[in-house]
Amino acid sequence: MRSWYPLLSLLCVALLASPGLRAEELAVHAARMQRELAEKILPYWHDTAQDSEHEGYLLADDAKGRGQAKEKQLVSQTRMIWTFSLVHRRGFSHGSRNYLEAARQGWRFLDRHFLDRERGGYYWKTDLAGHPISRRKNLYGQAFALYALVEFHRASGDRTPLHQAIELFRVVQEHAHDRTHGGWLEHFDEHWKPLLDPALPTEVEVAGYKSANAHLHWMEALTELYEATRETSVRAALAESLRINQDYFYPLEPGRSCFHRQRDWKPVTDPRSAGLSYGHNVEFAWLMIRAEQVLGRQPSWPHFHAHLRHALKFGYDHERGGLYNRGVGNEPAGQTDKVWWAQAEMMAALTDGLRHEPNPEYRRALDQLIHFVWKHQVDARDGIWLDTVTADGQPKITAKAHSWKANYHDVRALLKFIDAFGTTGAGHDPARP
């Protein structure tokens, strides 16, 4: 029997050396994330992104060198407001870096230049000075405007942005809610005339279809608006968005997830709409739990775990760590690049999964993911995550800030991890999942 002891010892050493079973504790990861946020990541965004001439944010940076911003787009501008508001509430403002003021100047730009005061809603894009260059309105953009307004209200105590959020909700309900089939239409001109031809060029999703992406983020925004207002009409809309996401876009059988549906919820057969996004699936999973908790419902943990396990089985790199981009049904991933936001959403979902129940598979995957991101996707100089790397970690898109990349996904995931596994202090809010 003793002849096995050396072999067992070697096996234990090998196991402990594997990425998923390292002795490094989750609390150590959380402490590092706390330092990175306080000393690198948030100072980077505060110091490089604010437009000192016109207000709002300039997003054009790359690991290879800083570029010249040419536009201000609704989603990235509002995501910046949201993040700066949140980190101020979490205690990160100090000295010369007041993140509430960084949010406030972004809100002023939003209010002065994006808001359509005559017809309601927010334009899609302005130039750097704030002149509208795309007056279209889409559900995806309105969702993030609402989301930012609620969070800025929470951080500032100012009720004006909350009133703006409520008014925006009412405008969207009036013009975009589909009273025949349920859900929401997504693309409109500046007069709120629906744009329904799928051949029309758009910058987000497909005109005439209902998308998983927009309905997911509309649910996300409604969750926070309902928590802030407890208005009956908002509750009803949140419940509807939750049901639609669960039934049509992210069902209990994750392999049946889809990007788009027809207006009457029939499947879209266009090959361009085929497949699923692992990042969106796991993002939905934890946002679903959040919505249910705010509604006071029993959380749908079986639904949550189904999506997380599906992503781990078909879309996760168990050799190196990290979440692949896209796949089809219950087949191995077809697009194996690792995009920054998908890694962040996998981190958030695994964090919530471990908070719900001890799970060795989740723990191993989370540890692998953290090591992969810090080794291959983070610019060590400032802590900012690169846009996209290949499956083996080679830089593919080295952008750090642009009109589709702000500080929302990764900062949110880091804060969620700190809340779950760190110690009480700046960045810790046990009341928020």
What pLDDT is stored for residue 374 in this prediction? 97
The upper half-sphere exposure of residue 135, i.e. CA atoms within 13 Å in the direction of its Cβ, equals 12
Tokens representing residue 416 in the block: 């969620």
Place of tokens 């953009």: 141
Tokens representing residue 350 in the block: 């695994």
User: In sequence order, which ranges of 110-231 are alpha helices (DSSP H)?
Assistant: 139-156, 160-175, 212-229
Low-confidence ranges of the chain (pLDDT < 70): 1-24, 424-433
281/345 Cα distance (integer angstroms): 9
**H/E element, 44:** helix 42-49
What pLDDT is stored for residue 25 in this prediction? 83
What pLDDT is stored for residue 19 in this prediction? 42
Cα separations in angstroms, 154 against 84, 90, 224: 12, 11, 10
What pLDDT is stored for residue 423 in this prediction? 78
Phi, psi of 355 (to 5 degrees): -65, -30
391/406 Cα distance (integer angstroms): 23
pTM of the prediction? 0.93
Tokens representing residue 273 in the block: 């709409």
What pLDDT is stored for residue 141 in this prediction? 98
For residue 412, give every residue at least 6 positions away whose Cβ sits within 8 Å of its Cβ, in sequence order, or none. Answer: 83, 86, 344, 348
Q: Among positive and negative, which fits the CA dihedral 67, 68, 71, 73?
A: positive
Query: What 8-state DSSP symbol labels residue 154?
Result: H
Of how many residues is the chain composed? 433
What are 32-90's pLDDT values in tens digits?
999 999 999 999 999 999 999 999 999 999 999 999 999 999 999 999 999 999 999 99
Q: Would you call 60 helix, strand, or coil by DSSP?
A: coil
